[in-house]
Amino acid sequence: MPLPRTGQRPLFAYPAKLASMTANALADCQGVIILIDPDDASRPPQAALQLAFELSEAEARLAARLASGELLELATEQLGIAKETGRSQLKSIFAKTGVHRQAELVALLAPLLGRTK
C-alpha cells in the first residue's frame, strides 16, 4: 500500500505475518508492518546477516540486495550468478531465516538496515 509524502515518492507499507511467532496465539507480536522508502537504497551489512542467520557469504550478499528492495532477477545479474543459483540461494535463505516469502524476508531484515538519513 503506498503512503503519500509531500515532495517525495510515497513510502510502501507491507504487512507481514510472522510465521514463527503466530504459532503462539498469546505472543506479543503476531505481525509487522514494514515501511520501505524507495529513495533509501541502504543495505544491511553482509557480516551481520551471516552472523545473525548463519548465511553463507553468497547468501548474505543476495539477502542484502533483496532487503534493499532489489528484484531477484536484477540481483542475480548484478552478482554475476545464474537465476537458478539465485533461486536456490533464496530457498536456503528462507529456510535459515524461517520465512516463506520475499516480503517476509524484507520485514525480517528491515531492522538491520543502516539508515543514513
Whether the pLDDT of residue 5 is over 70: the answer is yes
pTM of the model: 0.62
Task: Please name the residue that has the C-alpha cell 529513495.
Answer: 39
Round to whole Å and give the CA distance between 108 and 100: 11
68: phi > 0 → left, psi -120 to 50 → alpha, else beta; which? alpha
CB 44 within 8 A of CB 109: yes
Round to whole Å and give the CA distance between 74 and 66: 10
Round to whole Å and give the CA distance between 63 and 86: 10
> Where do the domains of the chain lie, and which CATH numbers do they carry?
2-112 (1.10.10.10)
Q: Can you tell me the mean pLDDT for 14-33? A: 66
Beta-ladder partners of 13: 35
Per-residue pLDDT of 40-97, as tens digits, reads 656 667 888 888 889 999 999 999 999 888 899 999 999 999 999 999 999 999 999 9
